[in-house]
A and B are shown apart, each in its own frame.
Chain A
Amino acid sequence: MAATSMAAALAASLPAPAAAPAPVAPSYEAIPASMAKVVDIEAEIPLTCVQLDAMVVTKILKHARESNSTTAHGLLLGLDLDGTLEVSNSFPLPHHVSDEDDKSAKSVARYQASMLRSLKEVQADDSVVGFYQAITLGAFFNQTLLDTQAIHQEKLRHGGIIIVHDLSQTARGNASFRAFRLTSAFLDAYKKNNFSAASLINHRLTFSSILEEVALKVRTNPLLSSFLGVLTEPTRSEATDAPPAAAATSALPPSYGVLDLGTSGVTRNLEQIIEGIDNYRTEEGNLAYLLRQIARERSKADNHVAKRQEENATRIAQGLAPLPEEDVNRLFKIPPEPSRLESMLLLGQVDAYAKTLSSTASTGLVKMYAAKASFGN
């Protein structure tokens, strides 16, 4: 009773133009006369966009939260059509413990195969198009992710994509899903298994050019849209004396968690940055040590060669046969140049953590001033 009178009063007193939003006409996609142009068997049309189904969004959300670590990963299933990769289903992969690697890899493969077969039976899509990975605080560079992706690159159409879901950002109120794929420069270096300084220079590789971002869209199918509409619709309680909180209940009430002023995650974020920098320093130390060792060995070898050449010159002057110069490779083992991949990835992680921190700080500022403004007056 009270509620209705209030609503009526409000409706009457509201400024007129704001109260009547014109219903937006739904946009229909024109169906092409022939699908011949958009269906490419040879995967020739390059991917421009990834479309994520709402069900996949919830599946990833659930899996990522429940496995409370960054190990949550799974497979994405779907199809590509005219440059848009439609991800229509996904399933989690079991978290494998690193011992008995060979055995666990086999069991994962078996799991994957039987899951795909089972999904096919209920008319679900069964072609693997990529992976998803849950991360925290924006850092998604890690060796295993890149390894898995690079291995599957060959097998998957378009090389496969990685969907990255940031748990901490989602907890702060912005459900974050991003799509990536490996760049050709990285793949080339990876295939040659060469991440030495020279190779990095040739491929112009920095941490920001390992992965390239692909546009991502989230889509809800019409059935789901209507269902969600029903869920969010408030239902009026039949009791007339119900308190306002219970008077209109809905399965999905609006939430304002985004406006939370708390900065509890920041400490963790700072710790992560420090840890990242420490790791990076250690790795750089290792690299420097290896480089020094290489330089030492090389100078030894050079000395040897120079000495041998000198000796040979005197021997030739004396009319003797010169000693061979090739045995230097046998005598001195110059270690191969160390891979800089690890240090590059660590640097990428540090950068990602810092980026998250900076965005937390900037939204924090806005919220603080908003809070001050509302209390100041």
Chain B
Amino acid sequence: MTLGIPSSAIHIQPAGPAALPTTPRTPSLVTIHPVVLFSILDHYLRRTDSQDRVIGTLLGTRSESDVIEVRSSFAVLHSETSEQVAVDMDYHKAMYELHHKVNPREVIVGWYSTGSNLNTFSALIQNFYSQEIAPYPAIHVTLNTGVDTNEKAGVTAYVSSPVGVFPKPENCVFTPVPTELKFHDAERSGLDLLTETAASPSSTSVQPTTDFEILEKSIGSVSAMLDRVLTYVRAVIAGEVKGDAAVGKYLMDMLGASTEDLEKGGFNASLQDTLMFSYLANLVRSQAEVSSRLALVTS
């Protein structure tokens, strides 16, 4: 689940100053929760006319194994002109305290901005955030919204290190860090709902959907895939296409699954259980309905 463009380049890690045992390691992986991306996009949509890009604070958790998990974010006011940059620090602090109240486990891990160009101002803001969360390194996530032509939408995370003979806040090197989209399995269906909504022509979907509709869709897509495989296998058998051994192996693994349990009466036992659930549930529901109606009967 890698975000952005995959590359075979080695991600260079700036060597820390003589790796003291107390110095935290530079992150080797940044995982981002979808809510962060969505919030950034929303913030970008709500920017004022004069703003080219928006910035905000990233909150998340740091694990021992140098993975930074970005779990939420909030917008921060800032203004940029060609000469200077100003970030509303009071706002940032107040907002962090509010977030901290609800979710005490999430701490500041870095900041985001939209657009993918890194300039002197980026270095200055990065410097501020680094000071804020020292001794941990701050990460910077850029989100390209894909609005500008010739630019692909994507997300990149960076860590920074000072550069130059005399370290100055406006000079630093941003080194990209591998970035992944991460969410809990239980949230998967929510994202599916959104991708489906996004794909529909009106960008809206009517809720709530029943379990059956979802099931139908899934079965439909599985059946479509089986058709694809079948066409391919037929073509191979007929000699039209040269068979790929790897594909064959995968198909054999997949379709050779054991059906012993089903054949040994497991199906019937399970079926009876399920039918019992269904009966019981309907019984309880009708009893509840009757009971509530009886309460309304005048004596």
Write the residues of chain A forming the contact surface with B, with a CB cutoff of 8 angstroms.
Answer: 2, 5-6, 9-10, 13-14, 24-27, 51-55, 57-59, 61-62, 65-66, 88-89, 91-95, 111, 114-115, 118, 121-124, 167, 169-179, 197, 200-201, 204-208, 215-232, 235, 237-239, 243-244, 249-259, 263, 266, 270, 273, 277, 340, 344, 347-348, 350-351, 353-355, 357-368, 370-372, 375
Q: Which of A351, A365, A367, A370 contacts B288 (CB 8 A)?
A: A351
When chains A and B are docked, how far (Å) is the Cα of A215 from the Cα of B193?
Answer: 17
- B188 CB to closest chain A CB, in angstroms? 5
B20 within 8 A of A: no
- A311 CB to closest chain B CB, in angstroms? 32
Known pairs A115-B98, A218-B204 / 16 extra A-B pairs, C-beta < 8 Å:
A2-B244, A5-B241, A58-B38, A58-B187, A61-B190, A118-B91, A173-B218, A217-B207, A220-B203, A224-B194, A224-B198, A273-B280, A354-B282, A354-B284, A365-B271, A365-B274
When chains A and B are docked, how far (Å) is the Cα of A308 from the Cα of B283?
Answer: 52
Neighbouring A residues of B46 by C-beta, 8 Å: 122-124
B interface, by DSSP: helix, strand, loop or mixed?
helix
Q: Which of A62, A176, A351 contacts B72 (CB 8 A)?
A: A62
B195 in contact with A174 (CB, 8 Å):
no
21 A-B pairs within 8 Å (CB atoms) are namely A9-B235, A52-B207, A53-B42, A54-B198, A58-B190, A58-B194, A89-B42, A178-B207, A206-B289, A206-B295, A218-B194, A218-B197, A223-B145, A225-B198, A257-B188, A263-B274, A357-B280, A358-B285, A366-B212, A372-B267, A375-B257
B167 within 8 A of A: no
Stretch at the interface among B1-9, B126-134, B157-165: B1-9
B53 within 8 A of A: no
B35 in contact with A59 (CB, 8 Å):
yes
Given A225-B198, A256-B218: A9 touches B240 (CB 8 Å cut-off): yes
Neighbouring A residues of B76 by C-beta, 8 Å: 122
Neighbouring A residues of B211 by C-beta, 8 Å: 169, 172-174, 359-360, 362-363
Neighbouring A residues of B219 by C-beta, 8 Å: 259, 370
Q: Which of A55, A57, A266 contacts B277 (CB 8 A)?
A: A266
B72 in contact with A244 (CB, 8 Å):
no
Given A228-B195, A252-B195, A363-B212: A118 touches B184 (CB 8 Å cut-off): no
When chains A and B are docked, how far (Å) is the Cα of A230 from the Cα of B199?
Answer: 11
Interface residue ranges of B234-277 to A (CB < 8 Å): 234-235, 240-242, 244, 246-247, 250, 257, 259, 262, 267, 270-271, 273-275, 277
A206 in contact with B281 (CB, 8 Å):
no
A170 in contact with B189 (CB, 8 Å):
yes
Stretch at the interface among B21-29, B117-125, B147-155, B168-176: B147-155
B71 within 8 A of A: yes
- A298 CB to closest chain B CB, in angstroms? 14
The chain B residue with its CB closest to the CB of A274 is B284
B5 in contact with A221 (CB, 8 Å):
no
The chain B residue with its CB closest to the CB of A50 is B207
B187 in contact with A361 (CB, 8 Å):
no
When chains A and B are docked, how far (Å) is the Cα of A331 from the Cα of B123?
Answer: 83
B197 in contact with A355 (CB, 8 Å):
no
When chains A and B are docked, how far (Å) is the Cα of A330 from the Cα of B95?
Answer: 59
A371 in contact with B262 (CB, 8 Å):
yes
- B114 CB to closest chain A CB, in angstroms? 11
B198 in contact with A229 (CB, 8 Å):
yes
When chains A and B are docked, how far (Å) is the Cα of A275 from the Cα of B277?
Answer: 16
When chains A and B are docked, how far (Å) is the Cα of A207 from the Cα of B287?
Answer: 13
B1 in contact with A249 (CB, 8 Å):
yes
Given A118-B95, A175-B190: A354 touches B288 (CB 8 Å cut-off): yes
Neighbouring A residues of B34 by C-beta, 8 Å: 58
The chain B residue with its CB closest to the CB of A171 is B186
When chains A and B are docked, how far (Å) is the Cα of A208 from the Cα of B296?
Answer: 13
Given A122-B77, A175-B189, A266-B277: A227 touches B3 (CB 8 Å cut-off): no
Query: Taking each of A24, A167, A224, A370, which has the highest tally of chain B beta carbons within 10 Å of its own beta carbon?
Result: A224
Neighbouring A residues of B12 by C-beta, 8 Å: none
Q: Which of A55, A237, A238 contacts B38 (CB 8 A)?
A: A55
Q: Which of B5, B231, B257, B281 contacts A357 (CB 8 A)?
A: B281
Q: Which of B48, B152, B184, B203 contacts A225 (CB 8 A)?
A: B203
Q: Which of B152, B197, B278 contacts A219 (CB 8 A)?
A: B197
Neighbouring B residues of A277 by C-beta, 8 Å: 284
Q: Which of B45, B98, B228 contacts A118 (CB 8 A)?
A: B98
